[in-house]
Structure 1
Amino acid sequence: MSTPRPAAGPAGAPAGGGHPDTDRLRTVARDASSDAGGLDPGLLEDFLEAVWRAVVEGRRLSPARIARYRVVGEGAATAGVALRALLDLYLSAAWRLWRHLPPVARAGEHPEGVVTAGEVVLRATDDAVAALTEGYQIARRQLVRREESDRREFVDDLLAGTADLPGLLRRAPRHGLDLTGPHAVCVVRAESAFNDGTAPLAAVERRLQGSQADADALVATKDGALVVVFAAPDRAAVTEVLDRVREVLGPPERTRWRAGVGRPGPGAAGVVGSYEQARRALELGDRLGGGDPVADATDLLVFEVLLRDRAVATDLVETTLGPLREGRGGAAPFLDTLEAYLASGGNTTEAARRLHLSVRAVTYRLARVRDLTGIDPTRPEARFGVQAAVLAARALAWPEDAT
């Protein structure tokens, strides 16, 4: 149904002039801009004049004119204007314009024209605001998709170490990183894969934003893992970031999460190195087990040295510990006993407590190790070689992975 035309004057013409007062419209736009926090009144474009003419002519805004406001919304989103401020600008302009409209100014002569004018203004404002919002939201979705794509590309380039260094340094600040300083990387895996936009990712990001460390941080995903790249000027910064990640992820028993953290390194190359170390630490942490779900590459340096030549490490384990397979129950019980005994500094009582065994049982197993291997682990001069073999065995997941 078309909107009724306003009451006509004596000669049948609309009540009031068809030409708006330019100065008056400029004043309305300026006041509306003030209402909207100083937003550029130019964003109104011809809205005030269009509403004026729509009221005088008793019609709706044309589809072409409404489409123009959709474009205004898109431009505002691209320029970073808040949608609330944009809508406030238009709504304030509409109510401020109301008292200056011809039918309202001549309400005493033609009171019925005020009702019609109100309908036209409300309809025109509704159409304009709907178009602004639609254009704004479409542009914002496009911007978000573009930003997500740029972020993903940056993360892939940063962790792969294949992109040009000057380009990475230029792009890094847009993603919250200053690569001129040392950074470390934490890699987390859980029972369910981490994906962009999931709650844990957002929660870790929010938690790190409140960090007191001298750390900027980038939280992303890579191959189903949660990856945190953060500034690490000292050990305290690393500890704080790891503590906050633990707080967000909660007990490891809940989601079966484990993490690895690499050593800090300078520049983009330091990030790549720390990322690779974090991945290896995570893998070693899985093999070694233990109560702490976070494996630190700094604490695992000895394993990296042992595994640098895997063939030599395997030969060390097989030569030193291979005969334990012939013992009762296989090699695993003896390996556990050796590990506990060496970790307790050669104290059989402490080793028994750790293993929940009697001292006699530990002593018996150590004697069997000597009988099977020809090496007496209770002798100080033999402990270094045995301990190296035990560490290598754990790193190689021996004997489970032995062929």
Structure 2
Amino acid sequence: MNDHAWFADAWTALLHGPADGRASQEAARLGARAADQGLHVHELVDGALAAGAAWWNAAHPGTAATAQSRIQDPFGTTRALLSAALTGYAEQTRAELDRHDTQRTAFVNDLLTGRTDPGRLAERAHRYGIRLSAAHTVLVARAEGLTPDIVHRIDAGLAARFGEGNTLTTLRNGDLVCISAGGLRGLSAELAHRLLSELGAGRWQIGVGRTHPGLQGLATSLDEAHNTLEHAGRLGFTTPILNAADLLVFPVLLRDRDAIIDLVTTVLGPLATARGGARPYLDTLAVLFDNHGNYTATARQMHLSVRAVTYRLDRIRALTGYHPAEPTQRFTLDAAVLGARLLDWPTE
């Protein structure tokens, strides 16, 4: 007898019982039990139909009145009971998935915050293929329209691509968080591909922390991924994948907040006295630096003439004494503009 023979026996007994509301309830219970014991849905349907066929073949004219009444509608009973069983199966599957999600989210929270006993955490980590002493990388994807079902599909896709135990993906505080073994090549590109397939273009952005060893390294990598996305938002970066290693200058700028405030107010402060305020000039400098000092590209992006860009830069020199065409002044201006964007100056 195979592991799932119990289902065929139980279904046969159900078909021979009275066709009433209790039969539907029992069918739903059988469906839930099938899901709980790992019976695949096609095995459930096949077993139910096989039992129904056997029951139909055993029912002949001249049998008991209950069998005779069922013969008048040979598939109605099986169809109704199978529908109830599939409902029970789906509800049990969803409940199990929700329980799994809850446990996984709790584990990831404990893993990334380090608030749980390390010994107990190591036991739980083993279940997910994570070795706390190894090096890991944390990726955070911020997106519109992320749902648990989307995250499930992405998690399964990444596991299939990189192997079970090498990635752990969950939904945390509205963001997709992926913990990966250190050194997985192509992971951020694969995650981007799957987000593109699920959500389309322009609706998501990925921050990739650096690879760090140990339990504390996980929290550090997570912070780097989060900070990368925060900096990108303030600076207006729209690149789909942002690596913390490429943006190390911004934590350096913000490490001494008083110094960066002094730089911004000293270098750019006089722009606040200009007609129309500092914003048009600040935007011009930001776009100019993004375009590597190319006036034509800057004018095209801002929908201005080259003459208008030149006028604004001349006004900046007149007000501040700095001009981006001067090699010794370019770096100071660039750092001041980055600082202003990080501080949201002059709004704040």
Does the aligned pair in 2 maintain the 1:324–1:372 contact within 8 Å?
Answer: yes
Match of 2:189 among 224, 239, 264: 239
Counterpart of 1:312, as a letter, is A
Aligned in 2, Cα 1:90/1:250: closer, same or farther, shift over 3 Å?
A: closer
Instruction: Select which of 291, 301, 304 maps to 2:248.
Output: 301
Compared CA separation, residues 246 and 145, structure 1 to 2 (3 A): closer
Correspondent of 2:142 among 165, 173, 188: 188
Please state whether the residue corresponding to 1:233 is helix, strand or coil: coil
Q: Distance in 2 between matches of 1:359 and 1:186?
A: 40
**Corresponding residue SS for 1:112:** coil
Q: How does 1:2-401 map to 2 (within 5 A)?
A: 30=1, 38-41=2-5, 75-86=33-44, 88-89=46-47, 92=50, 112-113=62-63, 139-172=92-125, 174=127, 180-190=134-144, 194-197=146-149, 200-201=150-151, 204-205=154-155, 208=158, 211=161, 216-231=166-181, 233-234=183-184, 236-252=186-202, 257-346=204-293, 348=295, 351-352=298-299, 355-401=302-348
Q: TM-score under structure 2 normalisation?
A: 0.73
Q: Percent identity at matched positions?
A: 36
Q: Deviations over 1:180-204 (max 9, x none)?
A: 45222123143xx64434xx44554
Q: C-alpha distance in 1, partners of 2:339/2:293?
A: 19
Q: Distance in 2 between matches of 1:66 and 1:331?
A: 72
**CA RMSD of superposed structures (Å):** 4.5
Which residue identity does 1:155 align to in structure 2?
A: V
Change in 2 beyond 3 A, CA 1:248/1:388: same
When residues 400 and 82 of structure 1 are mapped into structure 2, their CA distance, relative to the original with a 3 A threshold, is same
Deviation at 1:282, TM superposition (A): 1.8
8 Å Cα contact 2:128/2:165 also seen in 1: no
Between 391-400 and 177-186, the greater mean CA deviation after superposition: 177-186
In 2 relative to 1, CA 239–266 (structure 1 residues): closer, same or farther, beyond 3 Å? Answer: farther
Please give the alpha-carbon distance, in whole angstroms, between the structure 2 residues aligned to 1:342 and 1:62. Answer: 76
CA 1:96–1:370: 2 relative to 1, 3 Å = closer
CA distance in 1, matches of 2:281, 2:81: 79
Q: How big is each residue's C-alpha offset from its partner over 1:113-147, in whole Å with a ceiling of 9 and x where there is no partner?
A: 47766668989x96997897676566445433322
TM-score, structure 1 as length reference: 0.65
Could you tell me how far apart the structure 2 residues matched to 1:382 and 1:269 are?
Answer: 40
Query: Structure 1 regions of 5+ residues with no counterpart?
Result: 1-29, 31-37, 105-110
CA deviations 1:231-280 (Å, max 9, x no partner) are 4525533233224323432232xx5x444333333455443323222222
1:243, 1:264 → 2: CA distance?
21
Task: Decide whether the 8 Å contact of 1:60 with 1:120 is kept in 2.
Answer: no
Larger Rg: 1
**Kept in 2: contact 1:207–1:248 (CA 8 A):** no
Count of residue pairs brought into register by the alignment: 343
What's the offset of the Cα at 1:351?
A: 4.8
Instruction: Give, in whole Å, the separation in 2 of the partners of 1:66 and 1:344.
Output: 68
Rounded to whole Å, the distance in 1 between the matches of 2:305 and 2:10 is 91
Equivalents in 2 of 1:295, 1:45: separation in Å?
A: 57
Report Cα offsets for 1:58-102 as digits up to 9, x if no partner: x85999999988776655433222354356446646766888x8x
Q: Secondary structure at the match of 1:389?
A: helix
Question: For 2:105 and 2:226, how far apart are their aligned partners in 1?
Answer: 19
* SS of structure 2 residue aligned to 1:260: strand
Cα distance between partner residues in 2 of 1:340 and 1:46: 72
Aligned partner letter, 2:270: P
**CA 1:142–1:334 in 2, change beyond 3 Å: closer, same or farther?**
closer
- Give the Cα separation in 2 of the matches to 1:169 and 1:282: 29
> Does structure 2 conserve the Cα–Cα contact (< 8 Å) formed by 1:231 and 1:237?
no
Distance in 2 between the 1:293 and 1:357 partners?
27
Question: Where does the alignment leave 5 or more consecutive residues of structure 2 unmatched?
Answer: none
- Distance in 2 of aligned mates of 1:116 and 1:377: 94
State the alpha-carbon separation in 2 of the partners of residues 265 and 155 from structure 1.
16
Change (3 A) 1:83 1:39: farther
